[in-house]
Structure 1
Amino acid sequence: MYLDSRKSLEIDQMLKEFDGFNLVVHNCLINSYLEWGNVSEARKVFDEMPERNAVSWTSFVSGLLKHGNVDEAMSYFGRNPFSDVFSWTATINGLVQNRLSFEAMRLYKKMAVYGIMPNDVTFTCILRACGELGDFELGKSVMGSSIKVGFEDNLSISNSLVTFFLRLGEIDFARRTFDQMKEKNVISWTAILDMYVEMGDLEEAHRIFEEMPERNEVSWSAIIARFSQSGNVEEAVKLFQQMVKDRFKPNVSCYSSVISALASLEALPGGRTIHARVLKIGMERNVFVGTSLVDLYCKCKSTKDGRVVFDSIPEKNVVCWNSIVSGYSLNGQLGEAKELFNRIPKRNNISWNSLIAGYLGIENFSNALEVFDGMILSGEQPNKSTFSSVLRACASLPSLEKGKYAHAKALKLGFQHDIFVGTALVDMYAKSGSVESSKTIFNRMATKNEVVWTAMIQGLAENGFAEESLSLFEEMEHASSVAPNGLILLSVLFACSHCGLVDRGLKYFNSMEKVYGIMPNERHYTCVVDMLARSGRLREAEKFITDMPYEPEANALAALLNGCKIYGDEILAERIAEKLTGRAETKTGGYVLLSNVYASGGKWGDVLSTRNMINQKGMKRSGGCSRIEVRNEEHLFYSQDETHSQSKEIYWVLQLINSEI
C-alpha cells in the first residue's frame, strides 16, 4: 500500500520493522523502483539479495526491457536459473515492445530447443511480432503451432489472430477467424468493428456495433471517431449522446471526435455544452481536447472564445498552434493570424498553408505569394495543398512568371502527376492567357476528374477558343467516364455565348434537366440571358427573365442592359435599369449602364441627368481597376489615374495609339 502511494517515510519505517531480508518484500521493492523509473536502485536491491526466486528474475528482466535496457536485460536473462515459460514469455514480450520482433522470434524458436512449451500469452506476443515483421506465412505457422498444443479455442490467441490478419490487410482471414470463434469478448468485437471502420464501410461497422453484446469506451470511441472523420458528423453526435446515456465515460479521443463533429456542423450551443462537461471533469487543459475546442469556436466565428481556450492549454503542440492560426485566417483576421504564426515555436507546412489560405480567403493574392516565398526561404517543403493554393493566387492576379516559378518547384518535388496540382496548373495557365501551356498540362494528365475537365473547357472558352471548348466537352461526353456537372455546362453556355452560337447554347440549356439530370441554377439562366442579349435578341431575353423560376440575378439584368447599349434600345434599357437599381439602391451599376446607352445614342442631356441622379442618391461609382505584371513587378491602374510614376509617358503613348487608330 505504501509503495503504491509512494510514501517514502512510511516505507523506510516498515523496512526497519522487517529487520532483515524478506524475499516477497524485496520483490515488491524491485517492482516499485522499476515502475518509478529508478533502474539503478532496483538493480542495487536485486544484486544485494541473498536469495532470489523466479519472480525476482522475471520482474527484473522485464523491467529492464520496459526501460529499453535491452543488452543488460538479455545478460541477466542468460544467467536466470529459473528457466520457465513465464520468464521466456516476459522476455519475448519485452523484445516485441522494443520493436525487436526478429530477436523475439529467435528467442521463441529457442524455447523449443530447451523443451519449454509456450503458453497462451507466448503465442499472443509472438503473433504481435509476426504482425510487426509483416510476415503472413510465419503468422500462419504460429497459428498452426497454437492449435497443435490445444489453444485453438483460446480467446486471447483468437483475438491476436484477428488483429494480426487485419494488420496485414487480410480481411477475409480476419472475418473468418472472428466468425469461427466460439467465445468472443469486447476486444474481439472492437477489433472487427475497427476493421469495417478502417475500410470505410460505416454501414457494416454500425451493424456490427449494434450487434455487440457488450461495449467499452474503446469501441464507442472507435465508431464515434470514424463517423466524425468520414464526414457523417450527425451520426457521430448521436452516438456520443447514446454513449453518455448508457453511462459510459468518454475518453480524450471521444471528446476530441465529438467536438470535431460539432465544429463541422458549426453547432456552437452543442459545443458549449460539451465544453462545460470537459471543464467539469478537468480535461480542458488536455492539448487534444483543447485543440478541438479551438477549432470548434473558430469555425463558429467565435475566435475570441477560441483564443481563451488556446491560452489555457499549458503544453501546446504544433497542431494546436496551427488550429488557432487557421481559425483566425478562416475568419479573415489576418493580423492576429500573422502575429501568432510568428510565435509558433516549430512550424510545419500546415502552418504556412493556413496563412496562405487566409490571404486567399480575403483575396490578398500578393501577400499569399509573399508567404509562399517565405516558406521556400525557411526550408519548409511545400505540399500538394500549398501548390494548389499558390497557383490559385497566381491565376487570380494573373501572374504568369510566379506561376511558372511555382510550376518549376512542383516539378522538382515530384508533384507533376498529382491531379489537384495538375488542375491548378491548367487553370493558372488558362487564366494567364497561356492556353497552349494549359492544354499541354491537360493532355499529359493520366487521370482526369470533372474538376480538371471543367478548368480546361472554361479556360478555352474564356480565352476565345469557343469552338475548341465545345469540341472538348463533346470529347469528354464520349471518351471519358466523367459525367457533365453544373459547372461544366455553365462553361459550355459561356462558350456558346461568346462565339454567338445561340441556338446551340439554348439546346444545351434545354438538355440540362432532360438529358443530364441537372437542374439549372441562377447562373445558368444569367448565362442564357447574356447569350441572347449579345446576339441582339433583346425581347426574347426579357421574356426569358420574366419566365425564370428564380428571382433574376443582378448580373442577368446587367447583361440585358449591356445588350440594350450595344443595340441602342433605350426604352427597354430604361425599364431594365429601374429594375436593376431598385434591387440595390446603393449600387450604381444600372445607372452607369443606362448612362452608357444614352451616350451611345448621342443623348448627352440624358447622360447628364442620369449622372445627376447617381449623385442625388448619394451613390459612389467604383473605378475599374486593371492589373498587369512587368518583370515580376505588379502595376495597378484606375480610370483617369495619374498616381503611377510613369503616368505622363503612359498617357503620351495612349494618345499616340489613339491618333494612329
Structure 2
Amino acid sequence: MTLTGVSAAVGRVLSRDKTSKRVLNKSSTRPEKNSATHQILEQLEHGHISKAVSLLFPSLEPVSHWLYERLLRSCSSKSLVVQARKVVSHLVTFSPLPPIFLLNRAIEAYGRIGCANDARELFEQMPERDGGSWNALITACAKNYLHDEVFRAFVRMSRDGIRGSETSFSGVLKSCGFVLDLRLLMQLHCSVVKHGYSGNVDLETSFVDVYGKCGAMSDARRVFDEIESPSDVSWNVVVRRYLEMGLNDEAVVMFFKMLELNVRPLNHTVSSVVLACSRSLTLEVGMVIHAIALKLKFLPDTIVSTSIFDMYVKCGKLESARRVFDQTESKDLKFWTSAMSGYAMNGITRDARELFDLMPERNIISWNAMLGGYVRANEWDEALEFLALMRKEVKGIDNVTLVWILNVCSGVSDVQTGKQAHGFIYRHGYDANLIVANAVLDMYGKCGAFGSANALFRQMSELRDEVSWNALLTGLARVGRSEQALSFFEGMQLEAKPSKYTLATLLAGCANVPALGLGKATHGFLIRNGYDVDDVLRGAMVDMYSKCRCFDYAIKVFEEAAATRDLMLWNSMIRGCYRNGRSKEVFELFMAMEDEGVKPDHVTFLGILRACIREGHVELGFQYFSSMSTKYFVLPQVEHYDCMVELYCKYGCLRQLEEFLLLMPFDPPVQMLTRINDASKKYGWRKLGEWAAKRLHE
C-alpha cells in the first residue's frame, strides 16, 4: 500500500477506543508455534527485519499492539524506510481502530529514519491527537533539522490547548540551538518556567547549552547556578560553552569546582579543559589536569590523550608530549595524525616525519599535515621530495593539498609548475573554491607573474574577497609597483572596505620595496577612515618608515603608542635605529623598554648586537651577549654568535675571538670561518687564520 493509501485509511478512522492504549504484555500470552506472531518474533530475534515485516501480510489480520511497536522500533533502529511504511500500512489497513499511541510510535519511527515528510503526513491525517502526537511530530522535525516546522508545530499545539511537556520543550530547544535566536530562546525559557518544568535538569542543561551557543554566557551561567543538582552533563556543557566563547580561565575554574563537588568529569570535559590550557598556554594547570586524568584513568581515551599531547606541544614541552604519545596503548588514526601534525605545525619537521613514517595507516589529512609542516618551515627541498612521494602513494588529493602545492611553487618561485597546478585546478573544478583560487593568485604574485595574476583576478570577479585583494596588493608592493598597487587599493575601496590586516599587509609590502609614497597614502587612509590603530598596525608603520629612511615619522608613531607598546613595537624601533644610523639610541631604547617592564627576546638582542658592531662597543657587546642567558633566559641563536664573531673581527679583537670560539656550542659555518680567516690575515693572527683555512678546506 502506498503512503497515500495509508493516509486514506487513517482518515477513515472516525473514533477511538480510549482503552486501546493498554498494550498487551508479550509475556502474558504465549503465541502458538505456527502463528504469524511466533514466526515474526523468530525472524526478529535473528535480525531478519525485512523477512519479519513480510510475514505480516499473508495473515490478513492484525497482530498484537506490542508487536507493531516492536516492529516499528526495529525498523527505525536499522533505518529501514520501506519496511516501516509496510508496518504502518498493515496497521491502518487491518486494525479498524489503531490506537493513538501506536500512530505516535509510527511518527517517532519515521522521524528516527529521516522521513520527516511521512511523519508530518501521518500526523495530519490523524482525526484525533494527544500530547504524545505533538511531541512525536516536534521530535521528528527537530531530529531532521526542520526548525521552522518545529516552531510552527509548537505554536499550533499551544493554540489547540495542549500543554507542552518536557519532550516538546526539548525538541524546540534543540532547534533554538541551531537557529541561535536569543529572543525566541528567552520566550521559551519563560514558558518552561510558567509550566513548572524549571526543576528538570535535562531541560535546564539544554538552556545552558543554547544560551552559550547564542553567546549569552552570563545568562547561561545564571541558569546553570540555578540548577539544584547539576549532572555531569550539565558541568560538561558549561565548560564547553566557556571554551567556545574563548573564556579559557572560566572554563578551568568551573572544572575545578566540579571536582570539589565530587562530580566525575566526562572524557569530553577533561579534553575541553586541557584545550583551554593549550589556548592560554598555562602549562602548570595543564600538568595538574594531566595528573587528574591519569588518576581517573582517562588516558586510554584517545580524545583525552590527544588533547594532553597537543597541550604539551603548544607549551613547548615536546619531551612530555612524546611521552604521552608513547604511553598511549590504543592509538587510532586521528591520534597519530594529531601527534604528527602537532610537530609539523610547530616547525619540528624531523620528529613529525619520524611519526609519519611509523604510522600504521594514513589518510589525505595525514599527508596534508606533513606537507604543510614542510611549507610552514620553508623547507622547500623536503617539500618537493615529499610531493614526489605523494604522487606515488596517494591516489586522490583535495583542495588543501592543492593549496600546499601552490605554496611550494611560491616558495621556490617555480611559476611553470604553478601554472600546471592551475591547469589541474581548472580542469577538475577546484577554481570555484575561493581558498584555492586565492592560493593561485598568491602564487602568481609571489612569482612575479602579474599578467597571469591580473587575468585571474579579473576572472574571479564576484568570487574574490579581501584575501584576493591582499594577495594582489602585496605582490605589487613587494616588487615596487607602487603606483599600480595604489590604483588597485583605490579599486578595492569601491568593492569592499579594507580590513586592518589588508592595510598591515600593504604597509609591509611598502617597507620591503621601499615605497614611501604608498606607505604614507596608506597611513593617511587609516587616519581619515577612523581605523583603530593597534600594535600590529603601529609596528607595520614603524617598520615601513624606518626602511623608507623616514625615521622621524617612525618615532612619532612610536611615541603615540606610549600606553600600549608591546615587544614587537619595541623591536621594530630598535631595528629602525641601527638601520638609520642612530645606533646610540638603541641602548637608550633598551633601558626604556626595561623600565616599562617589557621582557626582551632574541630579536631584541640581535638589534642591540648590530648596534654594538656599528658603534664599536666590543666589551659592551659581550656583556649584552652574556646577559641573554644569565639574566634574561634567552638562548643565543646562530645569528647572535655570528654578530659576536663579526664584532671581534671588525675591530681586531682576535684574542677575545679565540676565547669566544672555544665557548661556541657548534662548529662555525662557512660564512663565519670566512670572516675569521679574512680578519686573521688583516691583523696578522697567523695561528687562528691557519685553523680557519683548514676548516674551510675540510
Same-fold status (TM-score > 0.5): yes
Corresponding residue for 2:52? none
SS in 2 for 1:498: coil
Counterpart Cα distance in 1 of 2:117 and 2:547? 72
Counterpart Cα distance in 1 of 2:215 and 2:171? 22
Which of the numbers 19, 22, 27 marks the counterpart of 1:23?
27
Corresponding residue for 2:406? 391
Counterpart Cα distance in 1 of 2:555 and 2:343? 47
SS in 2 for 1:285: coil
Corresponding residue for 1:381? 397
* Distance apart, 1:295 and its partner CA: 1.9
Are 2:582 and 1:578 equivalent residues in the alignment? no
For 1:586, give the aligned amino acid. Answer: Y
Which of the numbers 264, 276, 295 marks the counterpart of 1:261?
276
Deviations 1:169-225 (A, max 9, x none): 777655544433423333434444433444455565455545666643334323322
Superposed counterparts of 1:187-198, under 5 Å: 187-198=202-213
SS in 2 for 1:282: coil
Are 2:566 and 1:528 equivalent residues in the alignment? no
For 1:23, give the aligned amino acid. Answer: S
For 2:344, give the aligned amino acid. Answer: S
Kept in 1: contact 2:543–2:554 (CA 8 A)? no
Are 2:380 and 1:365 equivalent residues in the alignment? yes
Counterpart Cα distance in 1 of 2:554 and 2:617? 12
Corresponding residue for 2:99? 84
Counterpart Cα distance in 1 of 2:121 and 2:670? 79
Deviations 1:109-155 (A, max 9, x none): 5653xxxx544333222222233555567656644664476423434
Corresponding residue for 2:17? none
Deviations 1:358-411 (A, max 9, x none): 21233212322443454455133323x444443333222222123223333444
Which of the numbers 235, 255, 266 marks the counterpart of 2:250?
235
SS in 2 for 1:408: helix
Kept in 1: contact 2:558–2:573 (CA 8 A)? no
Kept in 1: contact 2:110–2:118 (CA 8 A)? yes
Measured at CA, do residues 406 and 240 of structure 1 come closer, stay the same or move farther in structure 2, by a change above 3 Å?
farther
Superposed counterparts of 1:101-500, under 5 Å: 101-108=116-123, 111-112=126-127, 117-132=128-143, 139=150, 142-143=153-154, 146-147=157-158, 150-164=161-175, 175-181=186-192, 182-183=194-195, 184=197, 185-200=200-215, 202=217, 205-206=220-221, 209=224, 215-313=230-328, 315-344=330-359, 346-375=361-390, 378-383=394-399, 385-416=400-431, 418-443=433-458, 444=460, 446=462, 452-473=468-489, 480-484=496-500, 487-488=504-505, 490-491=507-508, 493-494=510-511, 498=514
Which of the numbers 587, 605, 609 marks the counterpart of 2:642?
587
Deviations 1:395-450 (A, max 9, x none): 22222123223333444454445554444334322221212333344454547666
* Distance apart, 1:355 and its partner CA: 0.4
Kept in 1: contact 2:173–2:210 (CA 8 A)? no
Percent identity at matched positions? 21
Deviations 1:456-507 (A, max 9, x none): 3332232121333344445556774124557246336427x63576xx8678
Measured at CA, do residues 449 and 42 of structure 1 come closer, stay the same or move farther in structure 2, by a change above 3 Å?
closer
For 2:362, give the aligned amino acid. Answer: R
Structure 1: stretches of 5+ with no match in the other structure? 1-20, 28-33, 564-571, 596-605, 625-661
Counterpart Cα distance in 1 of 2:288 and 2:152? 52
SS in 2 for 1:279: helix
For 2:256, give the aligned amino acid. Answer: Q
More displaced stretch, 261-270 vs 435-444:
435-444
Kept in 1: contact 2:371–2:383 (CA 8 A)? yes
Kept in 1: contact 2:538–2:557 (CA 8 A)? no
Which of the numbers 38, 42, 46 marks the counterpart of 1:40?
46
SS in 1 for 2:549: helix
SS in 2 for 1:586: helix
4+ residue segments displaced more than 6 Å: 69-77, 79-82, 168-171, 506-515, 540-549, 551-554, 572-575, 592-595, 609-617
For 1:576, give the aligned amino acid. Answer: R
Kept in 2: contact 1:410–1:416 (CA 8 A)? yes
Structure 2: stretches of 5+ with no match in the other structure? 1-24, 32-39, 50-54, 56-62, 563-569, 584-609, 626-639, 673-698
Measured at CA, do residues 218 and 513 of structure 1 come closer, stay the same or move farther in structure 2, by a change above 3 Å?
same
Measured at CA, do residues 543 and 98 of structure 1 come closer, stay the same or move farther in structure 2, by a change above 3 Å?
closer
Counterpart Cα distance in 1 of 2:369 and 2:409? 17
TM-score (norm 1): 0.67
Counterpart Cα distance in 1 of 2:410 and 2:380? 9
Counterpart Cα distance in 2 of 1:473 and 1:172? 41
Are 2:102 and 1:98 equivalent residues in the alignment? no
* Distance apart, 1:354 and its partner CA: 1.3
* Distance apart, 1:342 and its partner CA: 4.1
SS in 2 for 1:151: coil
For 2:395, give the aligned amino acid. Answer: G
For 2:548, give the aligned amino acid. Answer: M
Measured at CA, do residues 142 and 438 of structure 1 come closer, stay the same or move farther in structure 2, by a change above 3 Å?
closer
For 2:545, give the aligned amino acid. Answer: V
TM-score (norm 2): 0.64
Deviations 1:545-569 (A, max 9, x none): 9999946777546644799xxxxxx
For 1:40, give the aligned amino acid. Answer: H
More displaced stretch, 187-196 vs 459-468:
187-196
Kept in 2: contact 1:365–1:394 (CA 8 A)? no
For 2:174, give the aligned amino acid. Answer: T
Counterpart Cα distance in 2 of 1:593 and 1:559? 20
More displaced stretch, 293-302 vs 94-103:
94-103
For 2:132, give the aligned amino acid. Answer: V
* Distance apart, 1:326 and its partner CA: 0.7
Deviations 1:297-336 (A, max 9, x none): 3223334443444455555443222111112223444344
Measured at CA, do residues 399 and 96 of structure 1 come closer, stay the same or move farther in structure 2, by a change above 3 Å?
same
SS in 1 for 2:413: coil
Counterpart Cα distance in 2 of 1:367 and 1:451? 28
Deviations 1:31-71 (A, max 9, x none): xxx99x9823999xxx9xxxx97556645653565456777
Kept in 2: contact 1:227–1:233 (CA 8 A)? yes
Kept in 1: contact 2:309–2:322 (CA 8 A)? yes
For 1:126, give the aligned amino acid. Answer: L
Kept in 2: contact 1:394–1:400 (CA 8 A)? yes
SS in 1 for 2:163: coil
Counterpart Cα distance in 2 of 1:289 and 1:225? 14
For 2:398, give the aligned amino acid. Answer: P
Kept in 2: contact 1:332–1:361 (CA 8 A)? yes
Counterpart Cα distance in 2 of 1:42 and 1:466? 74
* Distance apart, 1:345 and its partner CA: 5.2
For 2:136, give the aligned amino acid. Answer: C
Counterpart Cα distance in 1 of 2:376 and 2:482? 30
